[in-house]
Amino acid sequence: MKLRFKLVASSILLIVLAITVCCAMILAFAQSREMQNVTEAGTADFMRFYASLAGALTDGLPAELTVRRSYLIHAFRSIEGFDAFTLSKDGDPICNNVGFQVEPLLRGDAPASSTGGYPIRSNAVRVNGRDYFIAHAVLLFRNERYDLALARDISRMTDSIRALAVRCAASGLIVTMLAALGMWLIVHRSLRPIQPLKDGAAQLAGGHYESRIPIAGKDELSELAADFNAMACAIESNIEQLHEKTIRQQAFINDLTHELKTPITSILLSTETLLGRKVSPETANRSLERIYDQGKWIESLSQKLITLVMLQGDIALQPESVPELLASVAETAAAALQECNMQLSIDCSIDTLPMDFDLLRSALVNLVENARKASSGGQAVELSAHDGVIAVADHGRGIPPEEIARVTEPFYMLDRSRNKKHGGMGLGLALVRQIAEAHGATLNIESVLGEGTTVRLIFYAPK
């Protein structure tokens, strides 16, 4: 069963229950009030008739039975309203104007009473399709017991109560129908925003992550729609990130395949040369050197790829000496710089930094190596550490402004032929960026074409 039907059915049941209780209370109050009036009036009339009959018989009763009976009938009929009363003795009716015996309708024996008191029993009964108020009391005259009873027709009153009950039922039915219609309209209108939620969920399940639910109003369903839209935005953002990551991974694999193809092809060609025909010792040496160089290049590539993979997780940082770090970088890069007739100047004012010594040395060696490749013979490379920033600067050819944002992408190279010549593979700055992020540092690159480049690792803001 749908929610709107459940809400409407529950509301109708509550309305019917409320109307039923109200009608029952109204009918009970009306019947109680009418019965109280009838009882009070009937009891007063009974007491009056009782007193009048008792007063008429104060002079005594004739001794002869036939005369006594006639005397009682005369006295009984001489009182106003006698047609609603009955008089009997030991179950034998003396005068009965109501058409039925009243005494059997009142259970139990009525206590005997003299004219000094009127213990009256009363009740409402239905006889032959008519409703009556009946009352009964006992008269004692000269130790003889007489039963006096009243039977007043109250069918008009009970019929009016029944008519009131019918009107209440009809009114309740009409009110219930109107309330049901109103509740249906209210519930239908209130639950109308659920359909867009349902459609939005279906769109989301179908992969349409850009779909949003229109928000109208400020009720709970509108808040739910807003939460749904926020969830859809988060899912869309995550899907986009996953898609971008997939594209980057695929590009990484494509670039890696391309990068490995060249050295492997060179190794295979050199091997075929050595195996396929006789060659001079010089040619054989050149082939072996080519195989060795390409093997070293693949080894370097593999080490850098392993470093990239390792940096996907957290690393342990501990305070290390920055001067020792810079000295180690200078020692590692010294041979390559000397070949190009270059100098590495060091300027350091930082004592320690939390770091992984080997990783950070690898990052700085990569930056110094990039600076060497970008510079001409005789130019200097500067390595400095001040105010939480380690920088490597050169005065080489620089980087075009539009390329700066991409130079940290894996396998991205500004000039592939120049990098191949110098043994580059486009992973250096990608490694530096990941090592910087692993240290909680920021990689900043500033470059002017034709003037040089400065790469900074910013560990904390200068004070």
Name which of 318, 306, 317, 342 is nearest 431 in CA terms: 306
Count of beta carbons in the 10 Å neighbourhood of residue 304 = 19
Return the residue matching tokens 């530096």. 432
Cβ atoms of 346 and 395 within 8 Å: the answer is no
pTM for this predicted structure? 0.44
pLDDT at 113: 38
State in words which class domain 311-458 has: alpha beta
Cβ atoms of 111 and 97 within 8 Å: the answer is no
How far is Cα 257 from Cα 259, in angstroms, rounded to an integer?
Answer: 5
- Where do runs of H (alpha helix) occur along 400-446? 416-421, 428-438
Cβ atoms of 449 and 400 within 8 Å: the answer is yes
Strands (E), 17-174: 85-89, 92-96, 121-127, 130-141, 144-153
How far is Cα 76 from Cα 326, in angstroms, rounded to an integer?
Answer: 138
CATH number given to 193-310: 1.10.287.130
How far is Cα 429 from Cα 435, in angstroms, rounded to an integer?
Answer: 10
* pLDDT-flagged residues of the chain (< 70): 1, 4, 107-118, 142, 193, 209, 216-217, 219-221, 248-249, 251-263, 297, 300-301, 303-314, 410-427, 461-463
How far is Cα 394 from Cα 441, in angstroms, rounded to an integer?
Answer: 21
Residue-range domain boundaries for the chain: 3-166, 193-310, 311-458
Name which of 198, 193, 201, 202 is nearest 221 in CA terms: 193
How far is Cα 101 from Cα 88, in angstroms, rounded to an integer?
Answer: 9
Instruction: Name, in order, each residue with C-beta under 8 angstroms of 201's C-beta and a sequence gap of 6 or more.
Output: 228
Cβ atoms of 150 and 53 within 8 Å: the answer is no
Cβ atoms of 145 and 159 within 8 Å: the answer is no
Strands (E), 322-441: 343-348, 352-355, 380-386, 389-393
How far is Cα 223 from Cα 227, in angstroms, rounded to an integer?
Answer: 6
Residue 261's identity, in one-letter code, is K
Q: What is the DSSP string of 342-372?
A: -EEEEEE---EEEE-HHHHHHHHHHHHHHHH
β-bridge partners, 391: 384, 456
CATH number given to 3-166: 3.30.450.20
How far is Cα 457 from Cα 441, in angstroms, rounded to an integer?
Answer: 6
